[in-house]
């Protein structure tokens, strides 16, 4: 599995710490290849990472911006991406296991040890397995594809 990672200018330090942390734990990490500068725009990073995760089915993504909200909103505009903004390990677990998240957005304002715990939880959590979760995820996918018949 590959973990794609990206940040805007506010998340550069955390991104580098997480890359080192993941590499030290033998997890394959790839930066998405866009350069950071002082006034870069988080949607550019979210869109590119989202496309890479969509194209690489067994991959996951990690996005970092000021508080994770902007990256989450932008990433969720990419068809096939379900991005969870997490501020706790519970958010990361439920985002992936209950809602099929394939991208994690976190804030650069988080403590680095908490960020590592959130990332660990997100990566190690198994995808949805209960029928009720799978049914809900499939409704989201159907809606995204213009096929959902609303109640």
Query: How does pLDDT run along the chain (151 residues), one tens digit per residue?
Result: 999 999 999 999 999 999 999 999 999 999 998 788 787 899 999 999 999 999 999 999 999 999 999 999 999 999 999 999 999 999 999 999 999 999 999 999 999 999 999 999 999 999 888 899 999 998 988 888 888 777 6
CATH 3.40.50.970 is right for the domain spanning 2-144: no
Cα(5)–Cα(31) distance, integer angstroms: 5
C-alpha torsion sign, points 29, 32, 35, 38: negative
C-alpha torsion sign, points 88, 74, 33, 60: positive
Under a CB-based contact definition with an 8 Å cutoff, are residues 63 and 49 in contact?
yes
Cα(67)–Cα(11) distance, integer angstroms: 9
Whole-structure pTM value? 0.94
Active site members: 65, 98
Q: Which sequence spans correspond to the domains of the chain? A: 2-144
């Amino acid at each position: 599995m590959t973990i794609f990672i990206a940040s805007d200018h506010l998340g550069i330090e955390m991104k580098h710490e997480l890359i080192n942390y993941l590499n030290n734990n033998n997890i394959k990490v790839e930066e998405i290849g866009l350069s950071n500068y002082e006034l870069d725009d988080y949607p550019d990073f979210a869109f590119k990472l989202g496309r890479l995760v969509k194209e690489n089915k067994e991959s996951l993504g990690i996005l970092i911006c000021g508080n994770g909200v902007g990256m989450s909103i932008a990433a969720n505009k990419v068809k096939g991406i379900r991005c969870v903004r997490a501020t706790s390990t519970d958010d990361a677990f439920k985002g992936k296991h209950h809602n099929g998240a394939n991208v994690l957005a976190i804030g650069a304002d988080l403590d680095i040890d908490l960020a590592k715990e959130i990332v660990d939880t997100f990566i190690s959590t198994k995808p949805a397995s209960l029928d009720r979760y799978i049914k809900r995820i499939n409704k989201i996918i159907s809606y995204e594809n213009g096929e959902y018949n609303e109640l």
